[in-house]
Structures are given as structure tokens and as C-alpha cells.
Amino acid sequence: MPEKNHHAVIFASHPPSEEQKARFMVFLKREYGPDITLDWQKEYVPKGFRLVVDEEDFYDWSINGKLRQLKESLKDLHGEDSDVIPLIRETVKNWKPKALVEELGTVSAVGDGIATVTGLDHVVYGEILLFSNGVRGMVQDLRENETGCILFDEDGDICQGSPVWRTGKAAGVPVGESMTGRIVNSLGAPIDGKGEIVTRATRPIENPAPGIIARQSVFRPMATGILAIDSMFPIGRGQRELIIGDRQTGKTAIAIDTILNQKGGDVICIYVSIGQKASAIAQLAQNLRERGAMDYTIIVHASASDPAPLQYIAPYAGCAIGEFFMEQGKDVLIVYDDLSKHAIAYRTLSLLLGRSPGREAYPGDVFYLHSRLLERSAQLSDERGGGSMTALPIVETQAGDVSAYIPTNIISITDGQIFLESSLFFAGQRPAVNVGLSVSRVGGDAQTKAMKKAAGAIRLDLAQYREMEVFTQFASDLDDSTKEQLVYGQGLMRLLRQNQYHPLRQYEQVILLCSALERVLMRVPLGEINSFALEMLAFFYDKNRALCDRIEQSGKLTPEDREEIVQTARQLVEQAAAERGW
């Protein structure tokens, strides 16, 4: 059987000299036999060349290829986690680049952030591919004879026939302490104009969730500073609590207030923006900066103008950054704003990749899209360092329809939801939390003893009030007990109104709840309840600082402290009633 005739092509910026060509032929004949031809094709290759044989074997002798070999040599000699900087000089001294054959692919089609590649028979799902103009992509679809790849950069310079080579690495994001206070894109590159972020480690954006043995039960509160949530739907560290509601009902405001409430604590906050305007994120960052919250916050931003692949990987990148801190034993709060747009970006990619559409045109694995993300939030066991990552995913509904595809999927994944109702919002009840549809499946386990005692039966009282309110719309004559119940319920609802950017400390919430549930505030007119509550809190802080500090630091409420709060509040109400003629 005759030997195969081989053909080699040199890709370089300039044609090789006769001497260089002779050296190439010596190497090629040694590796492939005497029946081989060599041609040159012009292509910009930084400081070197690339050699392709039979469109199958690929030798990268550009500066990038040599650096990849050097990095692999460092890893082989010194290990994955070694501090390579002081060892580089020693390694470079003894290192010589080799002629290593690599797998080469070819672009068969490209468009809309998707490239179809042939010739990469051993590529794996999630691997990063490198295109001839430096564009990076990630393998997202494996077929019998071709590979679907999503692109992380503009595809304008990629055309049919362009070479593609494997990197052998999964998509990753840089992580480190230096990222706090910065705004980065989905790939971890800074976009806030404050210069380069120096990090010494990277993490894969896709990572298995901690197993059952690596976790422990949620037992510590993640205080939001919002009275309506901390009293009735407490969130624990390591929990996943969904914030769901129509557009413009205050979903992001709850997440931002929760971030602000961590000031002075030990929580690292990560805000992942998916498909939002860059101007909105700039304003959000400014608000956080003015209130001193950017010092412990990282913003991962994939704007509405970014390609769908960048919007798709943004929450996974933010989660990888959070896992870095969690595995150091720290507590992390991560906000995904919002997963509705994330699902839309994934649907776009899936349809472009030719996957079969299902319900609402989403692909069949859209549930796994979010479950593998949210399951990475956990309270780790003490053996794993005891760190935690608390997730606040946000989902936008249409006309309050919580039975739509994406909302029901995420409700079934999370440990509870805070449902924001449009009618309450427009009636001035802000935050517009619907007490009936909201729930926390962790419950009192995530509350301090002080909050648990102070909150008491507030949910039951509000449920009775709302039921009675509906019933009394049809009644003209009410007895005294019904009127009293209505006044009490209206006062509770008014007390739960809270301005944005004004989270409450634990002792402040305890004082308000003890006073309200003992019906001390019933004499205060509805329009003055919020202003009187602020005056009362200021009085306690000025005149009884010891009581405030005791509740805040111990997280306990003794019967004596409760009685003191109620008596002081009653005196303040009587004094204000006499002065203001209530």
C-alpha cells in the first residue's frame, strides 16, 4: 500500500527563508516521511509561526504557544497550587520549547456569537477554544462531526475556514481578596476604570455543588434590615431565598438594602447584574459607594448590550468568586439580578445552537441551568471551614403570574420566596411584601431568640386583618372589637413601611415589634406612625443605650427587657398624645 502524501502549511507574518525552509523539511521528513510538501500562508502570528500538517496536526510556535508550554512545565515541576513567581527564573533557565503536536479545528459557520467548528474530535464540554484572531470561545454543544461554541468576544474577524485550537482548560475567572470594591465583567476583567486587578488564582466558573456531608443546617441569621422580612420571613446564612414580583415593584431595592445592612459586619457581598443597562449599574455602584458598602462588595456586570454568552456565564462567574471566599471560612451574600434575563440569554444560545425548543421555547435542560447554580450556595460544615454563601435570586413575573415556567422552576429550587405585589406597591405599602404568598422554609432557625420572641404572632395577626378587611368591605355596621382589630392591623401594615437605604438594626426591630404587638401604638394616628417610630427609636438609643447594646450583642430578649420596652413606649405614646392632642 503506497504511503500517504502529506501536505504542511506554515502560517506566519513573513515567508520563511531558504535556510528556515530547509530546517522545516528536515523536521517534517523525520516525523511524516519523505513524501511531504510545504507551503507558506500569510497570517498575523505574534513572534513566531504555526505549522499545520494535513489539516490535522498543529504545532504552535507563536509566543502564546510557548507560554502555554511554559505554564504546563511550571505546573509539572512545582504543582498546581505552588507560588510560581519565585520559581519562574529557575524553570525558564532549564526549559526548552518542544515541537508538540496539537489538535486543530476549522470554523465551518459563524454568526450571532456562535461558531460551529469541525476537526476537534477529542474536545470536551465546557473547554475553552482559541481562534486565530485571539477570540475565545467555550464548547457548549457536542455533535457527531462538529462542535458548537459560544464566543466571548466579537466575531467580526472570524470567518469560515479560520483555524481553531484547543486550550485543554475549562472556563475560569480570576479570584482573590483584591476584587472587593471593584466592578468586573463576566470574565473577571475590571470595567470600572480603576486599573488592573492583581489576582494569583483562578477558579472554574462551573463547579460541583458541595455534597451532603460537606454541608450543615442553616442556623445563623442573614439580617436584611427590613422589618417585614426579618420578622416574618427570616433568611439564614447559606439559604437561597427567591425575590419574585412584577417589574418595578422593589425587588432590587430589597437586595440592595440587604447589602447595606452588612456594613460593619463580616459578610462579602457579590451583586451579579444580568442584562441591565450600564447606566443603572453605575448609579447603583455610586449609591453603594456613598454609603460605604462598596468596600465589601463586588459587582459582576453583563450589560444588555453584551453578547448572550457573556450574560449566560455571568452568574456562574459571580458564584465562583463567592466560592473562593466561602472556602476560606467567610460568609458571602450573592444577588442574581435577575435570572429571568439569564434564562432568556440561555434560550437564545440554545436556539442558535439548533437545540429542540420546549415549553415557552426554552430548552429541556433549563431547570438544570439554575439548579446547578443555586445548589452551590450552602452553609459548609465546620470541617470544611464553616463558611457560607447565601443566594438572593431575583425573578421577574408578568402580571403576577407565579405559575409561569421559569418562576415555578426557581420556586421549586429555592428555600422560600418573598413575593412582591403590584397592588400593594402602588397603594404605598413598600416594601410590597405579600404576607400570604411569601414564605421562608428555614423559618425560626434563622432568627435570633430576641427576634423570635419579639415577632410573636405577627403573621397570624396580619392574616386575620387582611381577611377581615376583605369581609368588612361589604358591612356597614361594625362592632367595637372588629373596629379595634382593623385599627390594629392598619397600624401594623403602616409600621412595616420602610424607606429604601434605611435598614434597621436588630435592637430597633425588636423595640418596634414589642411595642406594636402589645398594641401600644394603637393611639398613634396612621399618618404619624412611621415618624413616631423613628422618634421612639432615637429616644431608646439616647436614654437607654445599655438596653439597645444588650439586645444587639446577645441576640436575646429577657422578660424584664421586654417589659421595660413596653412601659417606655407606653409613656412616650401618652406624652405625645397629650402634647399633640391625639
**Catalytic residue list:** 441
Report the candidate in 119, 173, 174 with the shortest Cα–Cα distance to residue 149: 119
Q: How far apart are CA 385 and CA 13, in angstroms?
A: 53
Can you read off the three cell numbers belonging to residue 476? 356597614
Q: What ranges in 360-414 are assigned the alpha helix state H? A: 366-374, 405-413
Give the Cα separation of 160 and 149 in Å (integer): 14
Cell of 471: 369581609
Beta carbons within 8 Å of 93's beta carbon, 6+ residues apart: none
DSSP letters of 265-317?
A: SSEEEEEEEEEE-HHHHHHHHHHHHHTT-GGGEEEEEEETTS-HHHHHHHHHH
Q: How do 242-245 and 388-396 pair as beta strands?
A: parallel
183-184 sheet: strands from edge to edge: 183-184, 297-303, 267-276, 331-337, 388-396, 242-245, 416-420, 439-440
Question: What is the bridge-based pairing of β-strands 201-204 and 172-175?
Answer: antiparallel
Going by DSSP bridges, is the β-strand pair 36-42/242-245 parallel, antiparallel, or unpaired? unpaired
Give counts: helices (H), strands (E), the chain.
18, 20
